[in-house]
Amino acid sequence: MLLEILQELHPDVDYATHTTLIDDRVIDSYDIIFLVGEIADKLDVEIPADELTPENFNSYAALNALVQRLDENA
C-alpha cells in the first residue's frame, strides 16, 4: 500500500532503486504533507513531527521502515 501511495505522487519514479528522493528533489515538502496524510488515512499510522526528517523520506525503504516502526509502537 505504501508503494501505491508513493506512485500516486510520481508514477515515473523507480522507488525500488531510487535512494535519494529528497536529495534529488523528487519529493518536496508538499509531497511530504501528502504522504503523511495518506499514510495516516490509508495505513492508520501517524507520523509525528520529530520523524519528518530527510533520512526518513529519502527512499521507499527508509519510509517503509519508519511506517513499520511506528506501526509496531502503536
- Measured between alpha carbons, how far is 61 from 74 in angstroms, rounded to an integer? 20
- Would you state the cell numbers that stand for residue 12, as one nine-digit string? 515515473
Residue 73 vs residue 35, higher pLDDT: 35
Q: How many domains does the chain have?
A: 1
Per residue in 18-71, pLDDT (tens digit) is 999 999 999 999 999 999 999 999 999 999 999 999 999 999 999 999 999 999
Structural domain of 24? 2-73
How much is the pLDDT for 74?
A: 63
Question: Which CATH number is 46's domain given?
Answer: 1.10.1200.10
pTM over 0.85: yes
Per residue in 9-32, pLDDT (tens digit) is 999 999 999 999 999 999 999 999
Cβ-contact 47, 66 below 8 angstroms = yes
